[in-house]
Amino acid sequence: MILNEIQIDSVLEIFNIAIGRAAASLSTTFDKEVELSVPKILLVTSNEALTYLPVQKNEEVCAVSQHFSSDEVNLEVKLIFSEESSLNLAKFFLEKQMIFLEEVTQLEQDTILEIGNIFINSFIGTIANLSHLELEGALPNIALLHSKEILKNDEKSAKTLIEAFVKFSIKPTAITGFLILILDSDVIEKFLDKIYKSLLGKDAE
């Protein structure tokens, strides 16, 4: 399957708006600027997808994942932080709530999960609103993974994926992370069609 220029533009446009909204949520949470990279869209197999992710080959990462579905679309969103960034993010958040070091370790995963929940749902909620989809979300989950395991479940199916990712950083801290949107090849065309029509105001046709 080859995506044409208009389809790529449509996805990038929706992705840009949605990631902007998610970044605004993160910025409000921390009262800091959130800088975004230029989003990238790839149509790759799951094995190939790993090589495009901005992680070191043997890096330990913290991943918040959430699955969304409707009658027409299934998709997965993953928010990835390095181990160091995830600890710093938790510290940063908890210090705002006047909670200090001794409790950070205990609350780290819960904090990252809640931040991930807000970020991912701002992102996916914007996509759902713009494309007039109602997406039901499973509960988000968090895992500490080896970088090569980020797309582990998807590797088994070895399907072609559309993967959109964007890197972000919270200024002036050194906290960085990235978000991946994964769509199976089965639903890519339906999803793109929805997005394209909604952008052109043709979704009611």
Residues forming the site for other proteins (CB under 8 A): 21, 25-26, 28-29, 93-94, 97-99, 107, 110-111, 113-114, 117-118, 120-122, 125-126, 128-129, 134-135, 137, 139-140
The C-alpha atoms of residue 114 and residue 62 are separated, in whole angstroms, by: 13
| Residue 145 CB coordination number (10 Å) | 19
155: nearest Cα among 44, 46, 42? 46
Question: Minimum CB separation from other proteins for residue 166, in Å?
Answer: 18
Question: Minimum CB separation from other proteins for residue 59, in Å?
Answer: 25
Distance of CA 113 to the CA centre of its chain: 13
Q: What angle do CA 72, 78, 84 make, to 5 degrees?
A: 175
Question: Minimum CB separation from other proteins for residue 73, in Å?
Answer: 13
Q: Which is nearer to other proteins, 25 or 65 (CB)?
A: 25
In this structure, is the dihedral angle defined by the CA atoms of residues 101, 104, 106 and 107, taken in order, positive or negative? positive
Question: Minimum CB separation from other proteins for residue 47, in Å?
Answer: 32
Question: Minimum CB separation from other proteins for residue 159, in Å?
Answer: 26
Q: Which is nearer to other proteins, 35 or 110 (CB)?
A: 110
Q: Which is nearer to other proteins, 54 or 125 (CB)?
A: 125
In this structure, is the dihedral angle defined by the CA atoms of residues 128, 129, 131 and 133, taken in order, positive or negative? positive
Q: Which is nearer to other proteins, 121 or 169 (CB)?
A: 121
Q: Which is nearer to other proteins, 56 or 105 (CB)?
A: 105
The C-alpha atoms of residue 108 and residue 180 are separated, in whole angstroms, by: 22
